[in-house]
Chains A and B, each alone.
Chain A
């Protein structure tokens, strides 16, 4: 595996045990993502794309198969090492923003640094600076419910960015936003990608997927398409 590979999965399988027996969610998924790529993941509901993202984010473990992130075989790591990966290598952006409702915006952005062992003053300084870059300077002391959805998602992106991750995992980041705000968020992500951060994005919407450079598609837990983003490919996906 060469140095410019960030994500590599090999025969990745995941099944959930239900009362009616095991239900396979991912079957033999082989994906390689190089550093600096911008990948959109599409597929109908229940196709396994969210499970795929959870595994990429080290929030869930595969039933079988291998997952190598940033040169480390995730299957061999213990809880603390996984937490460290989530803290330093990965940044999450969720559909529902997932900010802590009782903390101020600045504290939300600074939260990952708490677990990285950064001092209080330094955390506040870096969080304020990043909020400024996201066009939210002066909003630091607000609570999440005092700002708009688009602003909350910017705060969430700032939180994902605060510890200089190599990978951003965005699970339908524009799902709760109107079209104009969605485009602004996507431009922000595209800019981060231009700055060198690898992005994997789950979405339903073709116009959002169009911001990515590569498209993969799941159907029934299998990878059915992996290629560059083209109008033809997207339209085929959308059907």
Chain B
């Protein structure tokens, strides 16, 4: 019974092609908008989750604190209160998996005829664990390099590109602020950080080398900040408390004085950002859904016009033996065909637009099967929902009145 009904519905639509097409257009735009917005939203979520993964997990950053000198309060990081020894002590805490002190500074690098200014990060081999970072060629420097303050360096990808081009840097010697450094390895690419910095534009050297031979310091052993990784996400709160207690003890801070350091939960900040992105993604989808709703109302509108126009036809069909459900099915099928075709074309349009946005504007898009299925299911539901009222109206027409209709 459905096959001949489909044929009937198809013929009815063929009778007014422009109108059927315009009705479908509403549906197409709605579905395309939903697909594209979901693609862009999920693309943004993907970007953020990539950045979070590249940052490292369960991460704290411990900054040296503010100080007050002559009534003048200076900001965070103003006093060099943190040292490599603090980092070593934190590493002993049971809730902490890895700790790396960080002493960064800007420096000019030279190799052959090329030179490049970048951030030179003095740290320990544990930095790679904390940041979930790998060495793609060569080897990382070791704890003994840190103890003896040797001149060895691990280069980030951007630095390699600018100094060496296509050459292999491992085993070569570069100059950092005039002193020669042996390149022992190259870091794997990490891409952008959450705030858009190029994480590959850096050089890692032993923290002791940085302190004594590159930047120098009037406070021996002091570092700008310490990065610490907790054992697990559940251990974060306990780890923050442990670190605070330990550092207060080590810095001999009496009760009721402020901390001279600042423990920040980087992972929580990142998750908050991920949450924001997710909300934005949902919002985009919700706004696009409105156009789907409008498309559905368009279908209902046209179907109502169609029912009125074909009142006499309905009367004839009833007179020769159509049941209520035959009439209902006929008009419902028309609405469903319109929304399905509109939906298929809309999915193609949406995917196409997302690909174009990606190619032309460089927007990260993620097109998932589930998004397309969702678009499809919603369109079918819209077709049935908005097709039902007009179809039901048609099925309830009184035959003699329908036959008399001019």
Contact = CB atoms under 8 A, between A and B. Distances in A.
Secondary structure of the B side of the interface? helix
Interface stretch (B4-12, B171-179, B225-233): B4-12
A84 B399 CA distance: 14
Nearest to B319: A92
Interface string A90-101: 001010001110
B318 A83 contact: yes
Interface stretch (A111-119, A185-193, A216-224): A111-119
Contacts of A117: 1
Contact of A87 (B4, B313, B320, B324): B320
A73 to B, nearest CB: 19
A141 to B, nearest CB: 14
Nearest to A82: B323
Interface residues of B, number: 24
A83 B323 CA distance: 5
Interface in B298-333: 312-313, 315-324, 326
A86 interface: yes
B272 interface: no
A80 B400 contact: no
Contact of B322 (A54, A83, A120): A83
Nearest to A115: B321
B4 A120 contact: yes
Interface string B10-25: 0110010000000000
Contacts of A86: 318-321
Nearest to B5: A114
A171 to B, nearest CB: 10
A115 B323 contact: yes
B333 to A, nearest CB: 13
B401 to A, nearest CB: 10
Contacts of A99: 316
Given A54-B400, A60-B400, A114-B8, A98 B321 contact: no
A54 B400 CA distance: 7
Contacts of B11: 102-103
A163 B320 CA distance: 10
A48 interface: no
B326 A115 contact: yes
A59 B398 CA distance: 8
A13 interface: no
A154 to B, nearest CB: 16
A86 B319 CA distance: 6
A134 to B, nearest CB: 17
A79 interface: yes
Given A54-B400, A59-B400, A111 B320 contact: yes
A115 B320 contact: yes
Nearest to B320: A112
A59 B317 CA distance: 12
29 contacts: A54-B400, A59-B318, A59-B399, A59-B400, A60-B399, A79-B323, A79-B324, A83-B318, A83-B321, A83-B326, A84-B323, A86-B318, A87-B321, A87-B322, A92-B319, A98-B312, A98-B316, A99-B316, A102-B12, A103-B11, A111-B317, A112-B320, A114-B4, A115-B317, A115-B320, A115-B321, A116-B321, A120-B4, A163-B321
Given A79-B323, A114-B4, 18 more contacts: A54-B400, A57-B319, A59-B400, A60-B400, A83-B318, A83-B326, A84-B323, A86-B321, A87-B321, A92-B320, A98-B319, A99-B316, A102-B11, A102-B12, A111-B320, A115-B322, A120-B7, A163-B321
Interface of B: 1, 3-4, 7-8, 11-12, 15, 312-313, 315-324, 326, 399-400, 403
List the 9 shortest-distance A-B pairs measured between CB atoms, nearest first. Answer: A87-B321, A83-B323, A115-B321, A59-B399, A112-B320, A86-B321, A102-B15, A98-B316, A59-B400
